[in-house]
Amino acid sequence: MRFLDTNIILRFLTRDDEAKAQACLALFERVERGQEEITLSEAILTEVCYVLSSSRHTYQLKREEIRARLLPLLNLRGLHLRDKRLYLRALDLYVQYPRLDIEDAVSVARMEAAQITEIYSYDTDFDGIPTLKRLEP
């Protein structure tokens, strides 16, 4: 098993360096065939979403496009991600609730999985989630 860093995903998804994009494609094809196994962390997934969506970067993709590009990667046969369903749900929430950033979408997905319905936060973006109640200390 090997760990996958953000820049490998970004080179593949953005194709901003064609030689690197092709090398990444070859890697992901090996992963899909089961010839290699890779894993990544929550931090990598959230960083990819941030970079692809941020106005500070050249990509500025819409959330729907980010989700559409990430889903095939996350579903690769040889890609192991603890709580994979949770992150797939977070991507759905990220698209469904535009006020949530990806980190908050992951938090909401974790709360749903744990059947937690209240959150202490000053972040009013959580107010748009009908299944949650935001509390202030």
Report pLDDT digits (tens) over 24-54: 999 999 999 999 999 999 999 999 999 999 8
Kindly list the strands in the beta sheet with 79-80, ordered across the sheet, starting from the edge strand earlier in the chain.
2-3, 38-39, 79-80
Q: Enter the pTM of the model.
A: 0.90
> What pLDDT digit, counting tens, does each position of 70-122 carry?
999 999 999 999 999 999 999 999 999 999 999 999 999 999 999 999 999 99
Q: Are 5 and 41 in contact (CB under 8 A)?
A: no
Closest among 7, 103, 111, 109 to 57, alpha carbons compared: 7
Which residue type does 4 have?
A: L
At 56, is the pLDDT very low, low, confident or very high (cuts 50, 70, 90)? confident
Write 23-29 long-range contacts (CB < 8 A, 24+). 28/73, 28/76
pLDDT score, position 57: 78
